[in-house]
Amino acid sequence: MTGQGRQGRQSPGAVLAVAIGLGLLIVAGSGVRAARGAPAWPLPTEPVTIGYWDTGNGTKGELIKSLIAEYQKLHPNVTIKFETDVKSDKIAVAVSTGTAPEIFEVADFNLPKFMGVGALDPLPPAAWGEETVDGVLKGYLPGLLDAMMDGGKLYGVPDQMNAHSLYLNNRLFREAGLDPAKDAPKTWDDVAKLNRTLTKRQGDRIVQKGWEMRYAAEHWLAQMFQILLYQAGGEMTREGKPAFNGEAGIRALQVWKSVTVAPQIMQNTRFSPYQDFATEQDAMTFAGPHVGLIVERINPAMKGNYTVAPLPQMRLDRPATIIYSYAWTVNARASAPQKRVAWDFIHHLSSKPELWWNIKFLQGTRGWYETPAAKASPFLPVFVHDLSVGKPLARTTSYGELQASLVRMIDRVILNNADPKQALDQAAEEFARAAGK
């Protein structure tokens, strides 16, 4: 979604393939299966039923159903009750009331809260055929699972990771005498210059913009501020307290203002946040790997009409962006047999990155992304690059309060021309007060 290699280690899918090639050892009567030389991960032989809630909106539902059927065929004693399109708020309530299923997908902004209250079962490395958590981490791009770690333990693996990349409209670039590949902006200064070329007016009316931030929902604004803050060398929080209101925060807002055209003129909504790019009002936008398919559904004429390039930077020698992700997790309240099956099933799901890429979902694993087929896939190397320079969203148990404070700050500065430093300090005070810091 949403999302961005390492060297010398195969992905979980490749490890599984090697294990099959060597031959799996089945310990009679115990349900134990293990590759030669790897830790055993015994599975129960009695009937086991697990529930699985996913936050997806149908994009991945059919793939998950096919993988469930595949797994249940391998393990006839297992029943998996799958429910999709479960909202994050519903999951949060179920976790707090002890009614969540054995597997549930967690948005990264809820992970610190769930880990903090002991709601999640730590991932057992043996289920991945590894002796330590480090062995599991080496199957992913460096640092990619930081948001899923706490106290040296790993509490989930991603089904979707997104790092924003730059989408460019080929036709609009060429109409302006530009090459969308060669002339793709590398810095925000480049974006500001292209705005002057690509923004068109009919009288007093703006009919086309080069670039605009996405004023469609709070999370887009909060994510983009964090991207610019990281690029300026700043950090969101320090020891749980706000740290975004220093010089890096001021620089982030200065860059934001420099690429702003007319935020009041837009068709983007929470339910169709890419409308302006899809209908060719905006010549550029930022988005994760799966967004191309969304844009093409809105406007079929966009198929083959966009190029993807790395996200613009403040400094090319210090690239940075954010990663936002969704992780498979296991309920700490599940029974021991359910946990064993749940983690084994999650390993099954996460070991097939090539299938997930068919629906443009990245999981950040190594190995497959380095194959010739993957490297030849349109724009995949760009998405992997942006993942590789990404950092997690702010780690806080009060992310909702932080996000709301940031959005009010952005409104004051960008829409009402407030002083950036005063607005940053006010946002920091609002967040600290709401979070009890």
Based on the domain organization, do 38 and 147 belong to the same domain? yes
Domain residues for the domain of 245 are 165-322+394-435
pLDDT at 132 over 50: yes
281 & 403 share domain:
yes
Residues 278 and 412 in one domain: yes
> Is 423 inside any structural domain?
yes
- Least confident among 5-14, 188-197, 203-212, 293-302: 5-14
Q: Is residue 340 a part of any domain in this protein? A: yes
Q: How many domains does the chain have?
A: 2
Instruction: Inform me whether the pLDDT recorded for 388 exceeds 60.
Output: yes
Residue with tokens 């990771």: 161
Residue where a domain terminates, one of 350, 378, 406: 378
Mean pLDDT of 245-262: 97
Asked if residue 81 lies in contact with residue 52, where contact means CB atoms within 8 angstroms, the answer is yes
Name which of 58-62, 150-154, 307-311 the model is least confident about: 58-62
**What stretches of 244-290 show up as alpha helix (H) in DSSP?**
247-258, 275-278
Give yes or no: residues 173 and 231 share one domain. yes
What is the full DSSP assignment across 356-415? Answer: HHTTT----BSSGGGSHHHHHSTTHHHHHHHHHTEEEPP--TTHHHHHHHHHHHHIIIII
Do 213 and 293 fall within a single domain?
yes
Q: Is residue 44 part of a domain?
A: yes
Coil, helix or strand for 268?
Answer: coil
Q: What are phi and psi of 210, to 5 degrees?
A: -75, -60
Q: Specify whether 299 is located in the same domain as 226.
A: yes
Any domain includes 2 = no
Q: What letter would DSSP give residue 114? A: H
Local structure of 421: helix, strand or coil: helix
Share of the chain above pLDDT 70, in %: 91
Is position 107 within any domain? yes
pLDDT value for 257: 97
Q: Which two tokens stand for residue 413?
A: 């500065």
Q: What is the pLDDT of residues 207-232, one digit of tens each?
A: 999 999 999 989 999 999 999 999 99
Q: Mind listing the pLDDT tens digit for each residue in 153-210?
A: 999 999 999 899 999 999 999 999 999 999 999 999 999 999 999 999 998 899 999 9
Find the mean pLDDT for residues 347-363: 93
Given this model, what pLDDT does residue 40 score?
83
Average pLDDT over residues 116-137: 96
- The pLDDT value recorded for residue 281 is 96
Distance CA 408, CA 412 (A): 6
- Between CA 276 and CA 373 the distance in angstroms is 32
Residue 36, pLDDT > 60, answer no
The model's pTM is: 0.87
Same domain, 112 and 220: no
Average pLDDT over residues 254-280: 95
| Banded pLDDT at 30 (limits 50, 70, 90) | very low
Look at residue 192 in the predicted model and tell me its pLDDT: 98
154 and 175 housed in the same domain = no
- Does one domain contain both 287 and 409? yes
Same domain as 328, residue 318: no
Q: What is the pLDDT of residue 47?
A: 98
The pLDDT value recorded for residue 425 is 98
Whether residue 246 is predicted with pLDDT greater than 70 in this model: the reply is: yes
**Same structural domain for residues 144 and 170?**
no
The verdict on residue 354 lying in a domain is: yes
Lowest mean pLDDT among 33-37, 257-261, 319-323: 33-37
For the chain, give the mean pLDDT.
90
Q: Which one is predicted more confidently, 435 or 285?
A: 285
Q: Is residue 1 part of a domain?
A: no
Any domain includes 113: yes
Give the CATH number, domain containing residue 213: 3.40.190.10
- Structure confidence at residue 374 (pLDDT): 87
Same-domain pairing of 339 and 298: no
Residue 38's pLDDT band (boundaries 50, 70, 90)?
low
- What's the pLDDT band for 39 if we cut at 50, 70, 90? low
| Contact yes or no for 152/132 (Cβ under 8 A) | no
